[in-house]
A and B are shown apart, each in its own frame.
Chain A
Amino acid sequence: MPTSRRQFLKTGAALTAAGILPFARALPAGAATGDTLVAVSAQTINSLDLHRSGTNRASYAVAVNCYDRLVTFGTKQVPGGGLSYDYSTIEPELAESWQISKDGLTITFKLKDALFQDGSPVTAEDVKWSFDRAVTVGGFPTVQMKAGGLVRPEQFEAVDAKTFVVRLDRPSKLSLPDLAVPVPFIINATLAKANATEADPWATEYLHKNTIGSGAFKVIRWDSGQQIVYERYDDWVGGPLPAIKRVIMREVPSAATQRALIERGDVQVAFDIPDKDAAELADKMTVYSTPIENCIHCLCMNTNFAPFTDPDVRKAVAYAVPYEAIFQAAAYGRGAPTWGGSAEITDTAWPRKSPYDTDLEKAKAHMAKSGYADGFETTLSISTDLASWMEPTALLVQEAVGKIGIKVTIEKIPGANWRTASLVEKRLPFHLENFGGWLNTPDYYFFWAYQKDHLFNSSNYFNEEVEALTDETLHMAVDDPAYAPKIQRMFEIVFEDLPRVPLWQPALNVAVNGASGYEFWFHRQLDIRSLAPAGA
């Protein structure tokens, strides 16, 4: 964002009580104390507007930190230490309260008395405009809204200034959580409309460079490819006021440099660091490695391609995979194992341990039983963009399945082609894949990864019962007595059919040196609102 030097210094001085320049020239990097916190990450933010087409994942952080949604998720303690969002509790953010009608088709929200960062009040009209925008602009936001059953602008109504109504086509357990994901953020509609043009009715150009929300922070400076500077909005009502006034998010592409910076203590948070660095830094400082909810690294076998059409071949592969060795070599033990579980399924936990473990004898037995007892040759495809975990995994898989007569050549596909080849055309017989769902229920994972023709079903898997069960459970409440048996049945079928062999649940690694309050979020971006100086 274009801020002149003088203007920037002026706002800075005005906002700091004592009139001390926020970026006092002589202040060394390490002296960033109470007021300012510095975080580094390898990712590049390419827009301040999540709804714009082409906005990348890293930019979702801006929507999280600078805008409010109607609702948000609660917080829970993670067993391994640290905090995580809690999918099972929904808490107010901009909404003060909400009511769901008896038939589950109408949700009525009462808004808090909140002010946008420019001082104008937040009204239901703003919410309506923002929701209309999300379902209309197309691309990712529209797809994500659809997951919660939010498709058309007519579903949203601003009854009066403080009352907002969402009408659903059918009751769904996903609708309310889908309002807590980063997408349906609330924009200052009056200001946006003032900057909209005929060609650009949703003001995407303006929002691309400006944050105009009611959220906890505003972006006061954005140097594309270098840094983004957040400053606290003191009248935030969406939650407890953040302890830190200013957060500087610097882009540092090299993991070695990131590591030097965090070890020296010149930065307080190194976000999303590689598993290797996380494992090595863990003795020196606090490193949070939170297994990413509803996300699994998988070895996929395409059921459209022989010999993977043969269920015994798929089982033979599942028994041949050296799970522990892969987990140690590719993930440095960060994350959660998803192998060696019990055969009997009695709960609906997901990701869960599959009933398979490394057992060469069983693998050989299945191979002998299959139509390919003499083995065969195939290609294992990986993406160059994801080589950090895919390459070691592929090498270990190659070695292991060689022992049961499957000769594997590893094919590396450039990142720009990967998605087309694996997900769109689904033409890779044997490949590695990863899917993580934002909405944390097994049926949502199944919807994307096991239903016919759905994007992440890169194995071309089709099973009539799974289709039917997924459709039935997708919108069903999790406490419905019919829910658990159906989900357990789905687990049984896919573990028997094995289009995807779960390898492990990856972790999001964050090293912290001189800060506290880090909380894991499903969107895998840094939520700076909960951060505080160390010891606070």
Chain B
Amino acid sequence: MGARGRATLVRVLQAIPVIFGVIVISFILTRALPGDPAVQFAGAMATDESIQQVRETLGLDKPLPQQFVLYLSQLAQGDLGQSLSTGRPVLTDLASRLPASLELTLVALLLSCLVSVPLGVLAATRPGSWVDQLCRLLVTAGVSLPTFFTGVVLIYIFYYLLGIAPSPLGRLDFVYLDPPRVTGFFLIDSALAGDGETWFAALRQLILPACTLALFTLAPIARMTRAAMLSALSADYIRTARAAGLTRGKILYGYAFRNALLPVVTTLGMVFSFVLGANVLVEKVFAWPGIGSYAVEALVASDYAAVQGFVLSMALLFVLLNLVIDLAYSVIDPRFGTAAK
């Protein structure tokens, strides 16, 4: 392990103050939000008395520091609190919704990488050709088409007009039952259960929303691949490699692409975290029970526990993601861990 192992450990330790900071900030920010959850949840016809009752049940009549200590002690026991708007423990909500979002986002990213990375490489090796123009067109379209619009257009064409896509009713059509829960990822769970039919149904439901998201994420990845490849190809070591008479494939994939991958992986990480939080609109259009719409609804209703739980889980996810990206660096770039720290 040595240097690499130590560097990884340092990364993990560095995450602890970050997460504590996130806990404090999310706690304060949710309280600073305008709106009074007691009023919100007492219902439209509530009287002052019933609002006060609700406030006491929620523990919101206590001073803030006391609320914070209570929150911390709950957290220490792994209890994220109870969401008021869904009436379930936040942990249960997150456990059912996070996999839905992750599955969608991962499939979309995979799809988008499969298209954008080769496209970026081709565009960089043949600048000005039709591939380069196609890349430019896709990048522009991806950036300029809002996801909810792409989603509705895809539904209109493939579901409404052609009738080849399944009803846009979330993760599974109602004639199917959720596969027995192992990971919460329907594709994995149904595969584990050996249920091909449900697997296929879940995949069919995934295609349209994943395409919508893929189109959106395609742009930054393709653009970054193209730019990174261009700069790598014009680097001195490529010239040396060419001069040394290495084969074109070896130069392109052995040296240029490997060096170009670093910024691409960084972009991928950024796109992933961004999309996970920002796919609310896709979730709404496809009735996808994901984490984005959960967070937005919780925010609108001043549902403190749910918002804090969401922020915390996202923070954890980001820390994890950064770690994974760092580890990916160490695979791509052997210098990792020796220079820094």
Contacts and interface: CB of A to CB of B under 8 A. Distances in A.
Contacts of A197: none
B130 interface: no
24 contacts: A5-B178, A8-B177, A23-B175, A24-B175, A26-B175, A29-B166, A53-B53, A138-B49, A139-B54, A224-B86, A226-B170, A226-B171, A226-B287, A250-B170, A256-B155, A257-B285, A257-B287, A260-B159, A263-B160, A264-B160, A264-B163, A267-B167, A417-B34, A417-B35
Interface stretch (B214-222, B231-239, B294-302): B294-302
A55 interface: yes
Contact of A225 (B46, B97, B174): B97
A227 B86 contact: no
A361 B50 CA distance: 47
A159 B300 CA distance: 47
Interface in B268-302: 284-287, 289, 293-294, 297, 300-302
A510 B155 CA distance: 22
A252 B174 CA distance: 13
Interface string B141-180: 0000000100010011001100100111111011111111
Contacts of A4: 180
A4 B169 CA distance: 21
A44 B36 CA distance: 21
How many of chain A's residues touch chain B, expressed as a range?
35 or more
B50 A54 contact: no
B67 to A, nearest CB: 18
A536 B221 CA distance: 56
A225 B86 contact: yes
A46 B87 contact: yes
Nearest to B148: A254
A441 interface: no
B84 interface: yes
Nearest to A259: B160
Contacts of B198: 25
A416 B33 contact: yes
B297 A252 contact: no
Nearest to B48: A424
A143 B46 contact: yes
B155 to A, nearest CB: 6
A416 B40 contact: yes
Interface string A246-278: 001011111011001101101100000000000
Contact of B176 (A23, A56, A248, A420): A23
B34 A143 contact: no
A253 B284 contact: yes
A226 B170 CA distance: 8
A142 interface: yes
A94 to B, nearest CB: 25
Given A260-B159, A415-B300, A248 B174 contact: yes
B159 A264 contact: yes
Contact of B197 (A25, A44, A47): A25
